[in-house]
Amino acid sequence: MSASFFPLIDSRIINVQLVYPGASPEEMEEGVVSRIEEKLEGVTGIERITSSSNENTAAVIVEVEKGYDTKVALEDVKNAVNAINSFPGGLEKPVVALKENINFTINYAITGEMIDLTALKSYARRIEKDLLSYDGISKVELAGFPDEEIEISLDDEALKEYGITLEQAGLLIRNANIDITGGSIKTNTEELLIRSRNKAYYAAQLEDLVLKTTAEGAIVRLKDVAQIRDQWADDPNRIYINGKPGVEILVSSTDKEDLLKNAAYARSYFEKFNELNPQLTATLIRDQSETLEERKNLLLENGIIGMLLVLLLLSLFLNIRIAFWVAVGLPVSFLG
């Protein structure tokens, strides 16, 4: 039996996740979201529909009526979305799923002496991968470092030499097989923002992007017309532990996962991490399993005290054996 901090409640929220690379919020709303909302208007069991549209992505949130079978509603929503054949060609297949209840489990912060933010983040990514490989942990979040950006500074003269416009270069970059949501492209007169948030993509991966093949057969790559570099966002989101910059690692559990086991595994992992990485320190910030254990122990103690009180009171009026079996029968009846 899995342990959870809150009572298990069936989710009544269905999420429709949408990805359309290169699309503006307006394009997402008009070409995708509005069509889904229209299709869902006639679906039985839906109480409310809300949506949000951003660059490249959008989400439609469907709230199911109380008492209505969420599995039936989920299938109806899937069928309705799949029946739409007028989506834009660049839209990825919509993902329709019940929203899982997420419970905070435990979080640590890692800091180090004379270690920069890039190295800290690299360690954090490795930790994230290790924790997610454990059978039972499905959600790990990182915080404490700013968003990553790839800055692309285009050379006006080089662009003119090869007959490439800023718009053409921006379109080719957005359409490249790299998950970039928007760095920035700069010239002497214009600037376009191309930002990669918390993704494992770096400037070096864009250098060899082909922009054009000349009539002579020469290949023009992005590095031929631009300076490309990795950088952090201008408004950093930073965490400090005892005055040192750090990265926070938050582990959460779904209702189907055991919070106590996940927390125990995380504690064991970070103990070994501290032993193997003396240049770094993993500090426990908060452990929800401690509160859950305290509640379990309190419940057990109250149960034992209650049973003893029942046994004492019944023994005053009944045979001690009868009183004992009646007292024992109380927790058995509660446990089923």
Is 0.95 surpassed by the pTM of this model?
A: no
Q: What are the boundaries of each domain within the chain?
A: 13-98, 148-232, 292-335
pLDDT of residue 306: 79
Domain at 148-232, CATH from 3.50.50.60, 3.40.50.2300, 3.40.50.10470, 3.30.2090.10: 3.30.2090.10
Q: Give the single-character DSSP code of 56.
A: S
Asked if 219 contacts 98 with a C-beta cutoff of 8 angstroms, the reply is no
In whole numbers, what is the pLDDT of the chain averaged over residues? 81
Amino acid (one-letter) located at 109: A
Amino acid (one-letter) located at 68: Y
Asked if 140 contacts 132 with a C-beta cutoff of 8 angstroms, the reply is yes
Q: Which pLDDT tens digit goes with each residue over 103-113? A: 889 999 998 87
Looking up tokens 């057990």 gives 300
Mean pLDDT calculated for residue range 36-63: 91
Residue 296 sits at φ, ψ, to 5 deg, of: -65, -45
Q: Is the pLDDT of residue 196 over 70?
A: no
| Sign of torsion over alpha carbons 141, 145, 146, 152 | negative
The most confident of the ranges 178-182, 261-265, 320-324 is 261-265
Q: Which pLDDT tens digit goes with each residue over 237-279? A: 677 777 788 889 999 988 778 888 999 999 999 999 999 999 9
Q: Is the pLDDT of residue 114 over 50?
A: yes
pLDDT of residue 159: 85
Q: Enter the CATH code of domain 13-98.
A: 3.30.70.1430
Cα 101 → chain centroid: 13
Q: Which residue has the higher pLDDT, 14 or 146?
A: 14
Asked if 247 contacts 109 with a C-beta cutoff of 8 angstroms, the reply is yes
Cβ-based burial of 115 (10 A; exposed 0-12, middle 13-18, buried ≥19): middle
Cβ-based burial of 147 (10 A; exposed 0-12, middle 13-18, buried ≥19): middle
How is residue 233 written in tokens?
Answer: 């966002």
To the nearest whole percent, how much of the chain has pLDDT over 90?
Answer: 25
Mean pLDDT calculated for residue range 63-90: 90
Rg value, the chain, Cα: 28
Per-residue pLDDT band for 234 (boundaries 50, 70, 90) equals: low
Say if 13-98 and 148-232 have the same CATH topology.
no
Helix axes 259-276, 117-132, angle to 10 degrees: 140
pLDDT of residue 203: 74
CA distance 304 to 161: 85
How is residue 188 written in tokens?
Answer: 């002497």
Q: Which pLDDT tens digit goes with each residue over 26-35? A: 989 999 999 9
Q: Which residue has the higher pLDDT, 145 or 68?
A: 68
Residue 300 sits at φ, ψ, to 5 deg, of: -65, -45
